[in-house]
Amino acid sequence: MKVNWKVLVACLVIVGIIVWGVDTLRSRSYSGANLAFNVGGGAVTMKNPSTAPLAIQLVSPKAGAFSVTSPTEGLAGSSVKGAGGKVAQMFDIMLPVGSSEFTVVKGNGVNFVSATDTLLEAVVQPMSANDTRSTLIAIAVIIAASLFFISYTTDHQWINIIRGIETPVIAPIVESTDGGQGEAIRTYGDNRSR
């Protein structure tokens, strides 16, 4: 059986883009004391099981300011200049008791840092809704292009398979030879006299 390497490569591209997409878009979960993680560009859902609000920080090593939006009162605001070194921008939050949610906008490379023995839980969406939509569209386009390439490479045989029609096999035309006997005998009818 002959292997069509172009089709195989296109299939590997499809599998690779699906695996990359799932890994890129899946939410990340973190839990523990002294919790630290990258916030990403999507929503961050926090769970504070203690009986009092906890002081945490959002820090960034980049000089550009970032903003925080939240439906929870007291969690929204803008970063301020940090102490320098690895903290160029910072934002202090009093994390309320129970569940809360916030999103970092207008910034990237922001990290959540807590210095508490309380076991916090976090669920992080790595991309914003717009970035997720754009990524899904790009994945769909790449998969569609790969499927069309596979179809084109195989002369769209899948269409006939779906219809239940077998592709006809055309036998090659074989030219007859005279077998090396010289010029073939020609007959022009019956020339006998009557």
Give the model's pLDDT for residue 1. 43
Q: Cα–Cα distance between 171 and 68 in angstroms, integer? A: 71
Mapping DSSP onto H, E and C, the string for the chain reads CCCCHHHHHHHHHHHHHHHHHHHHHCCEEEEECCCEEECCCCEEEEEECCCCCEEEEEEECCCCCCEEECCCCCCCEECEEEEECCEEEEEEEEECCEEEEEEEECCCCCEEEECCCCCEEEEECCCCHHHHHHHHHHHHHHHHHHHHHHHHHCCCHHHHHHHCCCCCCCCCCCCCCCCCCCCCCCCCCCCCCC
Please state the separation of Cα 93 from the chain's center in Å: 33
Give yes or no for residue 192 having a pLDDT over 70: no
CA torsion 160-164-165-167 (nearest 10°) is 60
**Which is more confident, 107 or 186?**
107
Instruction: Evaluate if pTM is beyond 0.85.
Output: no
- State the chain's mean pLDDT as an integer: 83
Question: Could you read off the pLDDT of 18-69 as tens digits, one per residue?
Answer: 999 999 899 999 999 999 999 988 899 999 999 999 999 999 888 888 999 9
Confidence check: pLDDT of 143 > 90: yes
The first and second tokens of residue 34, run together, are 């002294």
Higher per-residue confidence, 43 vs 194: 43
Evaluate whether 155 touches 161 at the Cβ level (below 8 Å).
no
Tokens 């569209």 belong to 137
pLDDT tens, residue by residue, 96-108: 999 999 999 887 7
